[in-house]
Amino acid sequence: MKRAKITIVGAGNVGGSTAQRLVAGAVGDVVLIDIDEGLARGKALDLAEAAPLYHSDCRVTGGGDYAATAQSDVVVITSGSPRKPGMSRDDLLKINTGIVRQVTEQVARHSPQAVLIVVSNPLDAMTYVAHRVSNFPPERVMGMAGVLDAARFKAFLAEALSVSVDHIETLVLGGHGDTMVPLTRSTTVGGVPVEALLPEARLDAIVQRVRDGGAEIVNLLKTGSAYFAPSASVVEMVRAVVRDEHALLPCAAYCRGEYGAQNLFVGVPAVLGSRGVERIVSMELTARERAAFQKSVDAVQELCRLIDRLL
């Protein structure tokens, strides 16, 4: 069976870690692309030499020429200016719009049938940029957000309750930022509602920590941002697409009225397969959850209006 071809644009920490996980898991052949050609080639060579130790036959190449990415099945866009201490995702809007635009033009030219997974921040807005520039069907464009946010929520809850993360089920909706909506009402630990296990104030504090999860790591690292958890989240999505898993994962998907969101990308539960987003799964929200989600949608919509003026 033909292996999937996966391009990762941006060979920094997120891109490099994603490539490593894809090769180790034998998910597909990997092409690393970066404006710093030596960085991409060096990491690709290092990974190619590690592949035998993973018992993986996946090929890894790297460079700066997008011709090498031709006919990719999935393209992961991690390019962009990283967040710095004191910088919000929104601060990155103008510079990263230009970067994602240039990258997407090249990707669309060489891999017109690919599924795009956007990681660049501000996430939901950059997914919107990739869709507008590529002119791909919206089902083949998505952003990595909810998988990461839900993983952070699970990690913090497991720590607070001293339980295995495997026993926690949760979902995070909305934009990937300060207005994200962790659904505490739908969060369970071994089937028990988390709201029955933690005091409201403690649970609220954990929810806020999830919203600040990226900034917390930025402030600790000083000169970089998170990459282990983001790369693991990307691989979860890539695997669902290339293996046609029909996996239900929260991601920034194009909404046509679902959850009240119209014509924009925002975090919702979606079924992912070889065609990208196969469908968005609807669920009932409480009045409080609907209000919080709408606030998040409004924040994403405002960024998209700014982007419309930049493109």
Q: What are the catalytic residues? A: 176
Q: Please, which residues have CB within 8 angstroms of residue 21's CB and are 6 or more apart in sequence? A: 27, 231, 232, 235
Alpha-carbon separation of residue 144 from 43, 149, 187, 285 (angstroms): 23, 9, 20, 22
Alpha-carbon separation of residue 299 from 94, 108, 137, 145, 306 (angstroms): 16, 28, 24, 15, 11
Q: Which residue do the tokens 């209006």 mark?
A: 305
* Rg over CA atoms, the chain: 19
**Distance (Å, whole) CA 18 – CA 238:** 10
**Distance (Å, whole) CA 163 – CA 155:** 10
The 8-class DSSP code of residue 73 comes to: S
Q: Are 296 and 158 in contact (CB under 8 A)?
A: no
Number of other residues whose CB lies within 10 A of the CB of residue 199: 9
